[in-house]
């Protein structure tokens, strides 16, 4: 068992299954611009690198004249519906309760306003001390795999990287954690295949959230 002081968690695909609400918001944006809907499974493959990339992939465009109204439509729908079908993954709440004495933070590429809304709305506001999302940094643009969001979380929690683990479901999480000097743990039940996660070389690879309790104390 490894003694640590803090956990940093990705949000989508790690703590919450948000696929259906994200897909609904993307399809609402597509409809607003007269585009046909896309299957939720396909939209899921676009998630993980922030709203700008999600919109560019969904609309297959880099044109600001397309992406600006698309992003506005997405944000309006998601702001009103981000908790319609989003749920915690199994064992998350009980495991976070187990680690209540630890410092807990969310480090997500989802915009900070949505991340905070979901953390509070899904009942984790009393457990998660710090929420870092897209736009949290002074520069406003750094997203994982850039290590800056991870370093900001470490600063706000006042913990050392050597005593911290980043838990996420994507290769960007693993790279960001490695570059920030924290231990990394990948979960295979999220939005990325186990094979891709293994290729990212995390320090730990788990298949259920509760397996954290077998690794860290």
The one catalytic residue among 10, 12, 17, 173:
10
- Tell me if residue 10 is catalytic: yes
User: In this structure, are residues 28 and 55 in contact, taking their beta carbons and an 8 Å threshold?
Assistant: no
Q: d(Cα 9, Cα 108) in Å, to the nearest integer? A: 8
DSSP code of residue 47: T
The per-residue DSSP string of 118-140 comes to HHHHTT-TTT--EEEEET-STTS
Distance CA 50, CA 4 (A): 29
Residues with a known catalytic role: 10
């Amino acid at each position: 068992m490894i003694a640590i002081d803090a956990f940093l968690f990705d949000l989508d695909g790690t703590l919450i299954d948000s696929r259906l609400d994200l897909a609904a918001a993307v399809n609402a944006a597509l409809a607003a611009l007269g585009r046909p809907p896309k299957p939720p499974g396909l939209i899921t493959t676009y998630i993980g690198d922030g709203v700008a990339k999600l919109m560019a992939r969904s609309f297959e465009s880099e044109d600001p004249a397309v992406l600006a109204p698309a992003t506005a439509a997405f944000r309006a729908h998601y702001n009103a519906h981000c908790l319609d079908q989003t749920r915690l993954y199994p064992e998350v709440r009980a495991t976070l309760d187990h680690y209540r004495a630890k410092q807990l933070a969310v480090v997500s590429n989802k915009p900070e306003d949505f991340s905070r809304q979901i953390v509070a709305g899904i009942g984790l506001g009393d457990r998660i001390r710090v929420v870092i999302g897209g736009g949290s940094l002074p520069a406003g643009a750094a997203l994982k795999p850039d290590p800056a969001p991870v370093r900001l979380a470490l600063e706000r929690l006042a913990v050392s990287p050597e005593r911290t683990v980043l838990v996420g479901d994507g290769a960007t999480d693993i790279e960001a954690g490695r570059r920030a000097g924290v231990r990394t743990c990948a979960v295979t039940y999220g939005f990325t295949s186990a094979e891709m996660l293994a290729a990212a070389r995390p320090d730990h690879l788990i298949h259920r959230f509760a397996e954290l309790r077998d690794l860290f104390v």
